[in-house]
């Protein structure tokens, strides 16, 4: 059996000592998990080595750690695979990021993850008297939220989130994916209130920076960032929520500019974003004016460096075949239901023959 | 090699030095670029946030235009964000024949059609350099090895994640190419914490503080690791890392002043092109020290 080296980050707050690295050698087959390796080291070499774990089958979500820098479940990562990415031959195991460490590989999930999940009111809020028996829903209307229901709350996405790294108040990927689970539920009666709350929070849906880190690390393919994008789509397109973070304005300005010109002009995107998508409103809305004035030094520097010419700043380039783009906008936006192809639901393998196009499970 | 070329919006707007540098570098690399001057914005993730079908239609149109370029080996872009946004749409278009047929109906009036192609590809310049041109071929063309120049790679999220969508199964080392290209240019890649993280640009209008804190932190990390400059294949990252750098200093509470080069600029330097041709004077963070270092090499 091969020998694997595990370089584990140790920390015991009661010792008064700083964190340190300790290397363990374990003799296990390649297909055994990193968790098996850690537990072997604990049993054979140092009983004080601490990790939280339970099912050992990627179901309970307890053993989230960082392995060679990637947030993962220790039980779901094979020693052989981890060794391939190991720098200098030793598999590096650290506690998850963005959460305080309690001891060794155990982080405080209550302080961050669960607190944020509670923030989004993670339970159903139906209206009216409860029915005599169960609530009846069409199965099709639940398909859209099955992806967010697959979450096992391991915290891997929270650990990897690059917005949370600089803004600890960001509600974050796990909690926002959970929020979508209820926003997308046809039994819930507070969809608009939920969206309004998440859109207006300065650390809400518009604080996600599109970095895909949560999608990359999720062991259950929940794709939290995609759920955040769905929340934004519902907030802007379905409810027209004009939030104080310019989320609505930016999305509207972006898509309107492409409809009009086909190409993007950063010079027009900024003012339009702050005016909820309108240039005129940008000039009369005090908050927009303030934001724009704050951007002036950047624009002046751009002009001075020769990066931005007055021509690019003032005149928008227009595509030669712009009428085509406008027609496409009209065609697509004229049907009542938004068409969404969610590969999590329809699958992406060999669909070539059958063609399994599914109408998205959202009402338009 | 003949290629359908998608320069993106930003390289022709706020980072014209990138468009110019690519035009100067292409012939030196033996590339014949047919610019897709009728193609539209990729949507940068914001159109698909607004309406997925619309984003897929717009990018299918771009792919169809690229597929129509006679004799082209594939399509090349010079923007990580374009790559990521287009790959997202391509993934859906390729996954489902009925969906693809539906999207193609929107293109029919102009006689365009996106064909799911086994051999057809859309690659960022970084991928093209390693996979199609080859690092050996690049090394052979280097006339001015950038010895002693310490360069921090900055990839841009859209070409590193999600790996499954971005072809990492076939090309598992795509998250190491920038280091390889820096080495092939004779320079030294600098390892630092932020190289594969987010520049923050997508939320600069919705949460300026979170955005510029990210940008500032990565540049500070690169500086602390001893980098002379940073290089990026993404002009949107460039906007946050270079254009906004004076602003981001306030959010990380320290002076920065680290130049950020576009990928074709770094290659151009190694291929012996002059500074002006590469637009090195058109940066917010002055590139004088990099220029001086490279000029000293040429003189030596």
Question: Pairing between strand B122-124 and B32-35?
Answer: unpaired
pLDDT at residue A247 in the model: 94
Weakest mean pLDDT among A299-308, B97-106, B193-202: A299-308
Reply yes or no on whether the pLDDT at A132 is more than 50. yes
Question: A290 CA to chain B: closest CA distance, Å?
Answer: 13
Q: Is B206 in contact with A232 (Cβ distance < 8 A)? A: no
- For residues A106 and A52, the answer to whether their CB atoms sit within 8 Å is yes
Residues A317, A321, A323, A327: is their CA dihedral positive or negative? negative
Q: Mind listing the pLDDT tens digit for each residue in A28-72?
A: 999 999 999 999 999 999 999 999 999 999 999 999 999 999 999
Q: Is A258 in contact with B40 (Cβ distance < 8 A)? A: yes
pLDDT at residue A23 in the model: 97
Q: Is A163 in contact with B210 (Cβ distance < 8 A)? A: yes
pLDDT at residue A352 in the model: 47
Of the candidates A233, A292, A167, A198, the residue with the CA atom closest to the CA atom of residue B46: A233
Reply yes or no on whether the pLDDT at B132 is more than 60. yes
Q: Which residue of B has its CA nearest to A167?
A: B210
Q: Is A305 in contact with B48 (Cβ distance < 8 A)? A: no
Reply yes or no on whether the pLDDT at A295 is more than 90. no
| Closest Cβ–Cβ partner in A263, A302, A327 for B243 | A302
Q: Is A338 in contact with B52 (Cβ distance < 8 A)? A: yes
Question: A64 CA to chain B: closest CA distance, Å?
Answer: 19
Residue A136: band (very low, low, confident or very high) from pLDDT cuts 50, 70, 90: confident
Q: Which residue of A has its CA nearest to B207?
A: A207
Q: Which residue of B has its CA nearest to A228?
A: B49
Euclidean distance between CA atoms B25 and A260, whole angstroms:
33
Average pLDDT over residues B18-45: 96
Average pLDDT over residues B173-188: 98
Euclidean distance between CA atoms A166 and A9, whole angstroms:
23
Q: Which residue of B has its CA nearest to A339?
A: B53
pLDDT top residue among A304 and A221: A221
Reply yes or no on whether the pLDDT at B43 is more than 50. yes
Domain boundaries, chain B: 2-124, 135-299
Euclidean distance between CA atoms B50 and B46, whole angstroms:
6
Reply yes or no on whether the pLDDT at B142 is more than 80. yes
Average pLDDT over residues B152-174: 97
Q: Is B281 in contact with A212 (Cβ distance < 8 A)? A: no
Question: B233 CA to chain A: closest CA distance, Å?
Answer: 16
Weakest mean pLDDT among A4-13, A130-139, A341-350, B27-36: A341-350
The answer as to CATH 3.20.20.240 being correct for domain B2-124 is no
When the pLDDT of each residue in chain A is averaged and rounded to a whole number, the result is 90
β-strand partners of B123: B76
Q: Is A348 in contact with B51 (Cβ distance < 8 A)? A: no
pLDDT at residue B300 in the model: 64
C-alpha Rg value of chain A to the nearest Å: 25
Residues from chain B contacting residue A236 (CB–CB below 8 Å): 50
Residues from chain A contacting residue B17 (CB–CB below 8 Å): 307
Could you give the 3-state DSSP secondary structure of residue B244? coil
Residue A283: band (very low, low, confident or very high) from pLDDT cuts 50, 70, 90: low
Domains of chain A, start order: 3-106 (3.10.20.30), 110-238 (1.10.1060.10), 247-319 (no CATH)
ipTM confidence = 0.96
Reply yes or no on whether the pLDDT at A289 is more than 90. no
Q: Mind listing the pLDDT tens digit for each residue in A309-357?
A: 777 666 677 788 899 999 999 999 998 788 989 998 887 654 444 444 5
Reply yes or no on whether the pLDDT at A276 is more than 80. no
Euclidean distance between CA atoms B88 and B227, whole angstroms:
33
Question: B257 CA to chain A: closest CA distance, Å?
Answer: 14
Q: Is B51 in contact with A333 (Cβ distance < 8 A)? A: yes
Residues from chain A contacting residue B16 (CB–CB below 8 Å): 307, 309, 312
Token output for B7: 């320069």
Q: Is A320 in contact with B109 (Cβ distance < 8 A)? A: no
Answering whether pTM is above 0.90, one says: yes
Average pLDDT over residues B92-99: 95
Reply yes or no on whether the pLDDT at B213 is more than 60. yes
3-state SS track over chain A: CCEEEEEEEECCHHHCCCCEEEEEEEECCCCCEHHHHHHHHHHHCCCCCCCCCCCCCCCCCCCEEEECCEEEEHHHCEHHHHHHCCHHHEEEEECCCCCCEEECCEECCHHHHHHHHHHCCCCCCCCCCCCCCCCCCCHHHHHCCHHHHCCCCCCHHHHHCHHHHHCCCCCCHHHHHHHHHHHCCCCCCCHHHHHHHHHHCCCCHHHCCCCCHHHHHCCCCCCHHHHHHHHHHHHHHHCCCCCCCCHHHHHHHHHHHHHHHCCCCHHHHHHHHHCCCCHHHHHHCHHHHHHHHHHHHHHHHHHHCCCCCHHHHHCCCCCCCHHHHHHHHHHHHHCCCCCCCCHHHHCCCCCCCCCCCCCCCCCC
Reply yes or no on whether the pLDDT at A359 is more than 50. no
CATH of B135-299 among 3.90.45.10, 3.40.50.300, 3.40.640.10, 3.40.50.11810? 3.40.50.11810
| Closest Cβ–Cβ partner in A162, A307, A353 for B14 | A307
Average pLDDT over residues B169-196: 97
Q: Mind listing the pLDDT tens digit for each residue in A184-227?
A: 999 999 999 999 999 999 999 999 999 999 999 999 999 999 99
Reply yes or no on whether the pLDDT at A307 is more than 80. no
| Closest Cβ–Cβ partner in A246, A320, A353 for B205 | A246
Q: Mind listing the pLDDT tens digit for each residue in A227-250?
A: 999 999 999 999 999 999 999 999
Could you give the 3-state DSSP secondary structure of residue B32? strand
Weakest mean pLDDT among A157-171, A257-271, B153-167, B225-239: A257-271
Question: B106 CA to chain A: closest CA distance, Å?
Answer: 6
A/B interface, count of CB pairs below 8 Å: 224
pLDDT at residue A210 in the model: 94
Average pLDDT over residues B119-142: 97
Residues from chain A contacting residue B283 (CB–CB below 8 Å): 305, 307
Could you give the 3-state DSSP secondary structure of residue B70? coil
């Amino acid at each position: 059996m091969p020998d694997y080296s595990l370089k584990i980050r140790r920390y015991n707050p009661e010792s008064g000592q700083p964190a340190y690295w300790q290397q363990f050698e374990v003799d296990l087959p390649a297909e055994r998990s990193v968790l098996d390796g850690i537990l072997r080291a604990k049993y054979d070499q140092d009983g004080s080595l601490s990790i939280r774990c339970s099912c050992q089958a990627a179901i309970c979500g307890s053993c989230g750690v960082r392995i060679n820098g990637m947030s993962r479940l220790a039980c779901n990562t094979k020693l052989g695979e981890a060794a391939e990415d190991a720098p200098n031959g030793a598999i590096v195991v650290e506690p998850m990021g963005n959460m305080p460490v309690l001891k060794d590989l155990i982080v405080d999930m209550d302080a961050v993850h669960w607190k944020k999940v509670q923030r989004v009111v993670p339970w159903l809020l139906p209206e009216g008297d409860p029915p005599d028996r169960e609530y009846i829903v069409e199965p099709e209307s639940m398909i859209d939220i099955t992806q967010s229901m697959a979450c096992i709350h391991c915290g891997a996405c929270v650990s990897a989130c690059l917005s949370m790294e600089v803004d600890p108040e960001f509600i974050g990927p796990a909690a926002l994916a959970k929020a979508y689970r209820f926003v997308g539920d046809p039994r819930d009666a507070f969809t608009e209130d939920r969206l309004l709350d998440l859109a207006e929070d300065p650390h809400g849906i518009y604080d996600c920076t599109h970095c895909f880190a949560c999608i990359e690390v999720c062991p259950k393919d929940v794709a939290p960032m995609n759920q955040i994008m769905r929340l934004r789509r519902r907030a802007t397109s379905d409810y027209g929520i004009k939030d104080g973070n310019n989320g609505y304005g930016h999305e509207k300005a972006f898509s309107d500019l492409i409809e009009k010109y086909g190409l993007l002009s950063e010079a027009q995107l900024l003012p339009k974003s702050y005016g909820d998508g309108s240039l005129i409103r940008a000039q009369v809305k005090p908050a927009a004016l303030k934001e724009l004035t704050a951007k002036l030094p950047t624009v002046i520097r751009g002009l001075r460096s020769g990066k931005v010419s007055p021509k690019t700043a003032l005149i928008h380039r227009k595509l030669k075949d712009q009428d085509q783009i406008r027609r496409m906008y009209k065609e697509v936006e004229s049907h009542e239901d938004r068409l969404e192809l969610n590969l999590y639901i329809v699958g992406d393998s060999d669909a070539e023959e059958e063609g399994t196009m599914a109408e998205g499970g959202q009402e338009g | 090699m003949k290629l359908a070329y998608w320069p993106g919006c930003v390289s022709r707007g706020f980072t014209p030095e990138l468009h110019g540098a690519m035009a100067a570098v292409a012939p030196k690399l033996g590339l014949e670029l047919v610019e897709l001057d009728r193609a539209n914005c990729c949507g940068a993730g914001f159109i698909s946030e607004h309406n997925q079908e619309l984003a897929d239609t717009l990018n299918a149109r771009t792919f169809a235009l690229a597929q129509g370029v006679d004799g082209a080996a594939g399509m090349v872009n010079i923007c990580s964000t374009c790559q990521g946004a287009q790959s997202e749409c391509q993934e859906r278009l390729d996954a489902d024949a009925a969906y693809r047929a539906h999207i193609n109906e929107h293109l029919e009036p102009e006689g365009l059609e996106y064909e799911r192609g086994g051999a057809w590809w859309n690659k960022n310049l970084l991928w093209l350099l390693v996979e199609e041109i080859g690092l050996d071929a690049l090394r052979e063309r280097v006339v001015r090895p950038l010895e002693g120049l310490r360069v921090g790679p900055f990839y841009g999220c859209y070409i590193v994640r999600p790996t499954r969508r971005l072809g990492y199964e076939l090309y598992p080392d795509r998250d190491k190419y920038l280091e390889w290209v820096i080495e092939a240019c004779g320079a030294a890649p600098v390892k630092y914490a932020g190289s594969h993280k987010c520049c923050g640009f997508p939320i600069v209008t919705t949460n300026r503080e979170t955005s510029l804190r990210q940008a500032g932190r990565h540049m500070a990390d690169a500086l602390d690791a001893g980098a002379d400059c940073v290089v990026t294949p993404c002009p949107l990252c460039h906007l946050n890392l270079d254009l906004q750098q004076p602003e981001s200093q306030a959010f990380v509470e320290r002076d920065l002043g680290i130049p950020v080069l576009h990928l074709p600029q770094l290659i151009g330097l190694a291929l012996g092109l002059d500074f002006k041709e590469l637009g090195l004077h058109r940066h917010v963070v002055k590139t004088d020290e990099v220029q001086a270092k490279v000029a000293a090499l040429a003189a030596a």
